[in-house]
Structures are given as C-alpha cells and as structure tokens.
Amino acid sequence: MQIANETAVWLQYTLRNDAGEILDASEDNEPLVYIHGQGDIVPGLEKALEGKAAGTKFKVTVSPEEGYGVRSNTKVQTVPRTAFEDDAEIEPGTQFQAEGPDGVSIVTVVEIADDEVTIDANHPLAGENLHFEIEVVKLRAATPEELEHGHVHEGGHHHH
C-alpha cells in the first residue's frame, strides 16, 4: 500500500530550520496521524509523502511557499495598549490566538512601547525553510466515518 488520498498515515517526524535547530518533533511512541489529501499538513510535506510506503524513511526540504507561507510586512501592526485587557501579561515573545478575517491565527508580541504594542500575525514559522526527517510508520485506508469526521479514530481518540 502506498500513500494516496484518503489514506490514514502514521509518521514520525523531526522538523529543523536552516540552522539545524529542532523546531518540532513527534514523540517516540506517539506518531503524528493524519488523513492524506485533506490539507492537514503543510502542502510541501503532503506532496512529498504521496506514493510512499510504510517503513520508508526520507528527508525533504519544504520552501516557505509550500510550508507556512512567506513573511508579510502587512501582518506586522502597531495597536494601542488599550486593545489588550489591563491585566493581560504581555511581553515580547508572548503569543496568543486572534480571530481574523482568515480564521484563527497566532499573533506574537514583538515590541511594547509606552502605550503601543507591535504585534506580528505571521505564522511563527512563516519564511522558514522546513527540513523534515520522516519515517512512515503505518498506513491503512481511512474509514468512511473517519473521512466524514476528518480525523483518524485510534489511540485514545475522543469519539464525537
């Protein structure tokens, strides 16, 4: 069996940046599980996984365009301090979720001046080349119910 649309895929991964620093990785006994072809993972990685068999190990570098996007200066904005609640603990590097026209995004506080806060709504990994090291652990066809739910039912999934 090879990875194609509607395949349930278990994989172990390590994600590094250009400097070789680990940005993210799956836990040893907890592979990432996703259904192929739904856009659950970044497009460049999904494309690279297409056609792979269980047991395959490979490395792939995904460009920002096919990863978390290129950085956009228009997503860096200055807002008044009063836009935050008085007791909100914000400092450079603080991240929070914000609801915008494109859905929920992660916003990072860049700088705080007297009464103004500079925030960055770019994805924290926008502009990064993503160096993935992948091991395809297991494959099977997703069930009709899983396809309907958009996720795999296994390993303690809370059924809903």
Pairing of strands 103-112, 57-62: unpaired
C-beta of 11 vs 35, nearer to Zn ion: 35
DSSP state for residue 92 in the 8-state scheme: T
Q: Which is nearer to Zn ion, 123 or 149 (CB)?
A: 149
Closest to Zn ion by CB, 51 vs 150, is 150
CB 147, min distance to Zn ion, A = 10
CB atoms within 10 A of CB 17: 13
End-to-end alpha-carbon separation of the chain, Å?
A: 29
Cα 77 to Cα 56, 72, 89, 119, 121: the distances in Å are 44, 11, 19, 5, 8
Q: How many residues bind Zn ion (CB under 5 A)?
A: 1
Under rule CB under 5 A, residue 149 binds Zn ion: yes
Q: Please say which residue, 138 or 149, places its beta carbon nearer to Zn ion.
A: 149
Name the β-bridge partners of 16. 22, 131
Residue 71 in 3-state DSSP?
coil
Decide: is 140 part of the binding site for Zn ion (CB under 5 A).
Answer: no
Minimum distance of Zn ion from residue 145's CB (angstroms): 7
Residue 75 within binding range of Zn ion, rule CB under 5 A: no
Pattern 92-131, Zn ion, x by CB under 5 A? ----------------------------------------
Binding site for Zn ion (CB under 5 A): 149
